[in-house]
Amino acid sequence: MLSPRDLLERNDPDIFSALTGEETRQASGVEMIPSENYTYPEVLTTLGSVFTNKYSEGYPGRRYYGGQEFTDAIERLARERAKQLFRCDHVNVQPLSGAPMNAAAYLALLHPGDTVMGMDLSHGGHLTHGAPVSHMGHLFDWIRYKTDPESEGRIDFDVLRQAALERRPKMIVCGYSSYPRDYDYRPFKDIADEVGALTLADVSHIGGLIAGEALANPFDAGFDVVTTTTHKSMRGPRGGMIMCREEFRKAIDQSVFPGLQGGPHMNQVAATAVALGKAQQPEFKRYCQQVLANARALARALLDGGAELVTGGTANHMMVMDCVRSFGINGRVAENALDEIAITCNKQVIPDDPNPPLRPSGVRLGTPAATTRGMAESEMEALGGFMLEALRKPDDEPGLRKLKDEVQALCAAFPVPGIRS
């Protein structure tokens, strides 16, 4: 009998070719995009399981279809594991990804036109935190706060408080997609309490690092709602979770289903439960600490080599390099040069970037994926050196080919979980 993989090769060789090509790309190079990671083999197995076949509209014990014994079991497991890891009252594990997760949270607790405060996109916020190009940016009246370049990118809470007092937002959102610092959640909560606002922390990038107790937990500061994706630093499937205090349980659940979504993807829910179970193990805490140590090592290597980093370094798993100031090239040129040497990053705007999003001034780098492969500080120093050399001479094709050979030789010693060698 042919295996599922053999069946794919026989019946759809074009897709099989793309699959094997992506496996080779991931194994022979290194992912340095901070929102990407290599998931567990058990997660890949669960994603491709018979749970894909099952419709499960509703919630455990209250489904609209029969045959839910095992789907109820996995969803309850996912909820309980998340509650233990994040020390919260309730968790909804059905959001299909990060953007609908945040939309469901807003729509559960706000009305269209309400005033909401969120981080400006170019200063590190996410599209769903009020960017004008997103539907959420049009649906609500957003106050966009920024970081202070005079204090290495810290948030000026006096300015934030004054804006909150003037506009009286219904919700204050904190969280980021390209901000190289950890948050102090207490000032957000204090300001929100002063103006009568709800608090929501979107920790999608650092959800795993919070679960692994490497970074601060917003619930410890009294936050009302915390959202996170389940991939990135969590190493799970692509999906989302909304965690909240007990008083918001009903509103959150009704907003996800039937408000925004239909039947959940139960293969994804099962894979989320697997990842959350992994996050409960001591090895995961060690992994999270190594992610942060690797980020510090990479930042040091880049700074020592003359690169300029937004906020002057990193206090989490990521960093943003100003390529214009560092090398006289924009982020798209930098991304392409690093692609040529098998280091995958993404072009990124910097605070108040004068350049457009497809030709921004920076690139964004992160260490979760490389750490998953077992790389440590010495490998980060080597990768930093490769990056600096490539970015100094992005048009040197022979030099880039030589660097690619060195990067691939390094990667060969660190297999990717779940990919055949």
361 in Cβ contact with 308 (< 8 Å)? no
Residue 57 a catalytic site member: yes
List the catalytic residue out of 55, 83, 184, 396.
55
CA distance 395 to 136: 41
Residue whose token pair is 């994603």: 47
Active site residue 229: yes
The partner residues of 62 in beta bridges, in order of sequence, read 59
Catalytic residue among 202, 322, 340, 353: 202
The single residue of 167, 238, 285, 392 carrying the catalytic annotation is 238
CA distances, 223 to each of 56, 73, 94, 320, 411 (Å)? 30, 29, 21, 28, 41
Instruction: Tell me how far apart the alpha carbons of residues 109 and 226 are, in angstroms, rounded to a whole number.
Output: 13
Active-site entry in 9, 23, 42, 57? 57
Instruction: Extract the tokens encoding 366.
Output: 């992160």
Active site residue 202: yes
| Residue from 81, 232, 296, 373 carrying the catalytic annotation | 232
Decide if 145 is catalytic: no
The sign of the dihedral angle between the CA atoms of 71, 74, 76, 79 is negative
Q: Which candidate in 46, 128, 229, 272 is catalytic?
A: 229
Give how far the C-alpha of residue 61 lies from the chain's centroid of Cα atoms, to the nearest Å: 31
Q: Which residues are catalytic?
A: 55, 57, 202, 229, 232, 238
